A and B are shown apart, each in its own frame.
Chain A
Amino acid sequence: MLIKQISIFIENKSGRLADITKLLGENGVNILALSIADTTDFGILRLIVSNPDAAEQLVKDYGLTAKATEVIGISIPHVPGGLASALAVLNEHNIGIEYMYAFVTRSADNAMVILKVGDNYEAIKVLAQAGVKILSKDDLASL
């Protein structure tokens, strides 16, 4: 049930993001969600894409300093408190969140959230038990 995220190390140089997104676009990789963690010297671009295996190969062949990691995707009701109830489940089980980012889809009823936690399998278990919908690779591909 885990989702493959591509993390790319980028130096803080102007034009770098434009180059990378252009590369992905030209090769038919659709970006579904992204986040950037940045410091004064570098940034980490995290991407959820339509076809992660091909995208991983593509960025590596291109010579980018990139690595794939596994994250959890959940679908939550697009209403006030929707995210809070999902996170409360993790908190109850003492699962720490390293980072997260949200994205909306064409469906107005649900929002999607990408989570990186200390223990992926435990998190999936407790979230599923609490009735939170976990996104699969196929769910993402159909977005």
Chain B
Amino acid sequence: MGSFWDRENECMTRDRLHDLQSKRLVALVKRVYTNVPYYRNKMHEKGLVPEDIKSVEDLEKLPFTTKQDLRETYPFGLFASPLDEIVRVHASSGTTGKQTVVGYTQNDISLWSELMARCFAMTGADKTSRIQVSYGYGLFTGGLGAHYGAERIGAVTIPTSSGNTQRQITIMQDFGTTVLCCTPSYALYLAETMEEMGIKPDDIKLKAGVFGAEPWTESMRVEIEERLKIKAHDIYGLSEIMGPGVSMDCVCQKGLHVWEDHFIPEIINPNTGETLPAKTNGELVFTTLTKEGFPLIRYRTRDVSSLDYDVCECGRTMARMAKPSGRTDDMLIIRGVNVFPSQIESVLLEMGETSPHYMIIVDRVGTLDTIEIQVELTPDMVSDEVKKIEDLENRIKKNIESILGLSAKITLVESKTIQRSEGKAKRVIDKRKK
């Protein structure tokens, strides 16, 4: 099981990799310094010129990039290629409602397809495979990212996108899908629905799953593998860096191989910014080495992970990152959608009809995440008429849905009943199993 798409690069010696990374880093720094005024200023602030960066050893000298930088340069300020060379954009949710926009040149799309092809090959897929992409297609990178990779390896690509579960299963059965791409919670939901429809794992040809876009546990992996009788692979990515396919685990399932010839991973102490040694937990940081449209230097992902540089049993030399175990900020991932509590706060403040005090309660019912937002009603907004209060509730629901892209249950509560705190307010109760 499992194969290679690009064995030469996936298994190159660490020495060769070091030289390649150094060469690419030097070129990258020159490029962003020349093309992106924002980066040029950031380097000047640190007293840096491109000539200061001679090899990967100099990476630590470079400033970090954060989500805040992306916000300040919204929408295209960090693009390093002119817009007429950009062939596609994707976007993901920002912290206060503004989206984070990323752009790709034709070469970037090609690179992404290539790296996704490496991922699919790790599952054993090839041109005889039938890959069903049940990630959402659209601004979200999941659907199109997986799609192009599936086409690159020459598989029959089935772009079902998300939703319509029974049809997904019928297609899986009738088209003979061998690889499924979706969120792990959706995989479980598909398994459940299959059972309800009386379809057994032996009735379908599914062999492997490429699951990601939300945190999941080893016990979920075991459950998916048992119920669907497949190998469940963990894929990682974020739109800022590329999208899905930044890393994925091989059949050994002992960490996710980062495609280090294109991305340099680092682990830092989130409080001090200091680089941490291998196998130590900290915040994951990426530098994109070869991207043209939207290169990022030392981008802080806020995901908590660690790195292992030992050669894997599969033969790949590419470092393995541990499955992210949490976040260093308050971002929540609900049904695969990134949610920042601050987005909810900005909706409430903008409406100005309730107090800005709220509590987010996330739970998992069956296999699906639920989100409830409790909002404090102020005495001014009390009405003697139920319909006026229900109308307020519905308007909050609609506004939140349009910002989050996610339907939430809104519960109005009495004023001053949500806990106040002196320091950082506790805004989230996450009841999902860790």
Contact = CB atoms under 8 A, between A and B. Distances in A.
Interface in A1-41: 5, 7-11, 37-39, 41
**Contact-size category for A:** 20 to 34
A63 interface: yes
17 contacts: A7-B384, A9-B377, A9-B389, A39-B386, A41-B412, A44-B384, A60-B379, A65-B379, A67-B380, A67-B382, A67-B384, A69-B384, A71-B384, A98-B385, A99-B384, A116-B384, A116-B385
B384 A66 contact: no
Given A41-B412, A42-B389, 7 more contacts: A5-B384, A37-B385, A46-B384, A65-B378, A69-B383, A71-B384, A116-B385
B375 to A, nearest CB: 11
B416 interface: yes
A64 interface: yes
A10 B414 contact: yes
B415 interface: yes
Contact of A66 (B379, B386, B389, B390): B379
Nearest to A6: B384
Nearest to B384: A7
Contacts of A64: 414
B387 to A, nearest CB: 9
Contacts of B379: 60, 65-67
Nearest to A43: B386
B358 to A, nearest CB: 15
9 closest A-B pairs by beta carbon, nearest first, are A7-B384, A67-B382, A65-B415, A37-B386, A65-B414, A69-B384, A9-B382, A65-B377, A65-B382
Given A65-B379, A66-B379, A99 B414 contact: no
Interface in A76-101: 98-99
A71 B384 CA distance: 10
A98 B384 CA distance: 10
Contacts of B382: 7-9, 44, 65-67
The DSSP consensus for interface residues of chain A is strand
Interface in A52-77: 60, 63-67, 69, 71
Contact of A7 (B383, B412, B413, B417): B383
Interface residues of B, number: 18
B385 A99 contact: yes
B214 to A, nearest CB: 28
Given A65-B378, A65-B379, A66-B379, A44 B412 contact: no
A73 B151 CA distance: 74
Given A7-B384, A65-B382, A44 B389 contact: yes
A99 to B, nearest CB: 7
A5 to B, nearest CB: 6
Contacts of B378: 65
B107 interface: no
A10 B382 CA distance: 10
A25 to B, nearest CB: 20
Nearest to B355: A65
Contacts of B416: 63
Nearest to A59: B379
Contact of B412 (A8, A9, A63): A9
